[in-house]
Amino acid sequence: MSKTLQDLFGIDAPIVLGPFGGLSSIELTAAVSELGGLGSYGLYGYPADRISDTIAALHSATRRPFAVNLWLPTGDEVAPGDVDLRPAIEAVAPLYDELGLAHPTPPIEFLPDLDSQLTAVMDAAPAALSVVFGVPSEHVVAAARSRGIRVIGTATTVAEAVALEAAGVDAIVATGAEAGGHRVSFLRPAEQSLVGTFALVPQVVDAVEVPVIAAGGIGDRRGVAAAFALGASGVQVGSAFLRTRQSAATEAHRQAIADAADTATVLTRAMSGRLARGIPNRAMREIETTGIIAPFPAQNWLTGQFRAEAGRRGDGDLVSLWAGQAAGLAPSDDAAEVFAELAAGVPD
């Protein structure tokens, strides 16, 4: 089996844009694809009609291959009627009050139905579907194959990578603990799956036959070269692209990434109810101080109500500042310059 991402996806350079749930943009995804990499777009929380419209917009913006990303259910998600949200609402009430927002009323559902999301993706036929938080079913893999859609799984441990290969995925992202955003573990708790990129990638490469894409702690050509030295077939980069003006991140978020030191990020459940890496701000600290965090996805919905308004106002203290440990290496605020820096590390 070929381990060349260029052949697998029809791209020119083995550089994959990290899919950002809530922070993806048509502009950035299309830009990375047009530059010769694999642009990616995170569809977390999107209903089927929005997925169809988004992929149609991507097809209009670029004729090059791109991927879209979905979150698989892990089985521990709560529905609106499953949990008493009053304590969690009271815990974040001061943040709502500060923005002049009414305290939220739980919706009918926190997340759209996965089957309808998958149907929309299959009908729209992107070049690739990437998934996190689990193993795609045999039906999903077969449906994708029948439409010429490659399937990318995401692993935080060797065991997860082996499970993904057994399910028939075409490539695996080995994401180390350095990576920004959510820790997408699914076989063991995230806190027990914090394997660093330098240790994870070569062990995953040794354990599977499909191409391995290294993610976590990669911000410039040196990280790319290191990933290939570890046996990876390509890299997935998030924070460096998130800093660029083409992303959907707020200016405050982009500046926080640009200013980040090596110790600037922490792991927290405060913003979503699941473990994620980001730069601490007042919202994160105040929620953690209360000690009251609703389970996922209730907490994500709850903070999302004020995060959206804070983002519109450019308030970096009340949004999720997702970033990885190599955020400070982000070389530029322009996607083309970031891509050129990363491409310089790809071996000839």
| Residue 317 pLDDT level (bands cut at 50, 70, 90) | very high
What are the CA-CA distances from residue 274 to residues 42, 97, 115, 207, 217 (Å)?
17, 25, 22, 28, 20
127-160 pLDDT per residue, tens: 999 999 999 999 999 999 999 999 999 999 999 9
| Residue 177 pLDDT level (bands cut at 50, 70, 90) | very high
Beta bridge partners of 173: 154, 213
What is the arithmetic mean of pLDDT over 60-74? 98
What's the confidence (pLDDT) of residue 331? 86
How far is the C-alpha of 56 from the C-alpha of 130, rounded, in Å?
17
Q: Which CATH number fits domain 5-343: 3.20.20.70, 3.90.1010.10, 3.40.50.12140, 3.30.457.10?
A: 3.20.20.70
How far is the C-alpha of 253 from the C-alpha of 16, rounded, in Å?
21
210 within 8 A of 169, measured Cβ to Cβ:
yes
What's the confidence (pLDDT) of residue 122? 98
What's the confidence (pLDDT) of residue 58? 98
* Residue % of the chain over a pLDDT of 70: 99
223-247 pLDDT per residue, tens: 999 999 999 999 999 999 999 999 9
88-131 pLDDT per residue, tens: 999 999 999 999 999 999 899 999 999 999 999 999 999 999 99
What's the confidence (pLDDT) of residue 8? 96
What is the arithmetic mean of pLDDT over 8-20? 97
What's the confidence (pLDDT) of residue 1? 52
How far is the C-alpha of 157 from the C-alpha of 26, rounded, in Å?
31
| Residue 308 pLDDT level (bands cut at 50, 70, 90) | very high
HEC string for 326-341: CHHHCCCCCHHHHHHH
Interior CA angle at 281 toward 306 and 289, to 5°? 85
Please provide the average confidence, as pLDDT, over all residues in the chain.
96
Please state the separation of Cα 100 from the chain's center in Å.
Answer: 30
